[in-house]
Amino acid sequence: MTAMVQIDGVEKTYKGGFQALKGVSLDIREGEILALLGPNGAGKTTLISAICGITMPTGGSIHVGGHDVVRAFRKARAMIGLVPQELTLEPFETVWNAARFSRGLFGAAPDDAYLEDLLKRLSLFDKKDNQIQELSGGMKRRVLIAKALSHDPKVLFLDEPTAGVDVELRRDMWEIVAALKETGVTIILTTHYIEEAEAMADRIGVISKGELLLVEETDALMARLGRKEMRISLNEPLGAIPADLSDYDLRLEDEGQALIYSYDTRAERTGIARMIAALTEAGVTIADVETSQSSLEDIFVGLVHQRDNAEGDAA
């Protein structure tokens, strides 16, 4: 499959010396939904801004549809639509004129039929003559999407599409994104909601402190790092883990009221049966057992933690 967006060693250092991107490389495939996942300040928006032309990268290169975003910026940018994080819209403009303006700005000839269809798809058509200031927050976000799609781009960037959006609107947004994927648009979205990346994305890229920690298929990422935890509630609290059980990945929680056992679901042996047998042998009585899949949140926290530790060791 061809790469729609090719990012090679992109760096961004601001004048004050702050390095927002530390050599990010990433290929985004045509037609996929890629989620850039990371905490606030990780460099997600900077990366998007560098691709879209809002920020000039200080190193590396970016190609969109084979066009260099700096040297062939006209061809590259004509293929891109950007939905910003903030609801930034001209308040006195009508929905229709706002969409027309964006289409013209991106160098596309007027096409009222296309815009009409677009607004209908986004349930905005009956609001087309309203001033933007009269619309609700959810509607405004739709207008931003309509503006970004007004010139029929091949690549769509959604920067935190559901930040500050209520649950219902979030589901709405997910549906819109799913419908957009059907039209063949390549979609890159940023989020710090893991749940969101999991629900929408084909692949997930984890970004932290200006570095891309990994990029993987959503399912594979979940499976590879998807460890499970078993929580064993005890009748009698334990002061320490019995010596016979030191070989198992166990830890005590709730002042000795519970034992937590971590294991890999994909390993040949989970060791559960032997571990429980050993517990019984040691005279520990079990009140309850429950298991849980580690969420992407845990994975993410784990990854960042790992990296920080590695850094600490190196230092």
Partner 1 sequence: MNWLAVKAIYRAEMARFVRTFLQSIISPVISTSLYFVVFGAAIGSRIDEVEGVSYGAFIVPGLIMLTVMTQALSNASFGIYFPKFIGTIYELLSAPVSFLEVILGYVGAAATKALFIGLMILITASFFVELQIQNWPAMIAFLLLTCISFALFGFIIGIWAGNFEQLQLVPLLVVTPLVFLGGSFYSINMLPEAWQTVALFNPVVYLVSGFRWAFFGMADVPVGVSLLAIGGFTLACVSAVWWIFKTGWKIRS
Residues of this chain that interact with partner 1 (CB under 8 A) are 14, 52-56, 73-78, 80, 82, 84, 86, 88-93, 97, 100-109, 147
Q: Which is nearer to partner 1, 14 or 292 (CB)?
A: 14
CB of residue 146 to partner 1, shortest distance in Å? 12
Q: To which residue do tokens 């030191």 refer?
A: 246
CB of residue 180 to partner 1, shortest distance in Å? 18
CB of residue 264 to partner 1, shortest distance in Å? 44
CB of residue 125 to partner 1, shortest distance in Å? 21
CB of residue 149 to partner 1, shortest distance in Å? 13
Q: Which is nearer to partner 1, 20 or 37 (CB)?
A: 20
Cβ 25 vs Cβ 212: under 8 Å: yes
Given CA atoms 162, 166, 171, 175 in this order, what sign does their dihedral have? negative
CB of residue 84 to partner 1, shortest distance in Å? 5
Q: Which is nearer to partner 1, 130 or 233 (CB)?
A: 130
| Other Cβ atoms closer than 10 A to 264 | 15
Q: Which is nearer to partner 1, 54 or 287 (CB)?
A: 54
Q: Which is nearer to partner 1, 164 or 237 (CB)?
A: 164
Q: Which is nearer to partner 1, 77 or 203 (CB)?
A: 77
Of 79, 72, 64, 57, which Cα lies nearest the Cα of 6? 64
Q: Give me the torsion for CA of 229, 235, 239, 241, rounded to 10°.
A: -40
Q: Report helix, strand and coil shares of the chain as percent, to nearest 5.
A: 35, 30, 35
DSSP assignment letter at 94: B
Q: Which two tokens stand for residue 309?
A: 């530790």
DSSP-assigned states of every residue in 127-192: GTTSBGGGS-HHHHHHHHHHHHHTT--SEEEEESTTTT--HHHHHHHHHHHHHHHHTT-EEEEEES
Q: Which two tokens stand for residue 96?
A: 């229709």
Cβ 214 vs Cβ 205: under 8 Å: yes
Q: Which is nearer to partner 1, 57 or 205 (CB)?
A: 57
CB of residue 135 to partner 1, shortest distance in Å? 15
Burial 235-260 (b: 16+ CB within 10 A, else e): eeeeeebbeebeebebebeeeeebbe
Q: Which is nearer to partner 1, 100 or 127 (CB)?
A: 100
CB of residue 310 to partner 1, shortest distance in Å? 31
Give dist(CA 307, CA 204) in Å, integer: 18
Element (H, E) at 10: strand 3-13
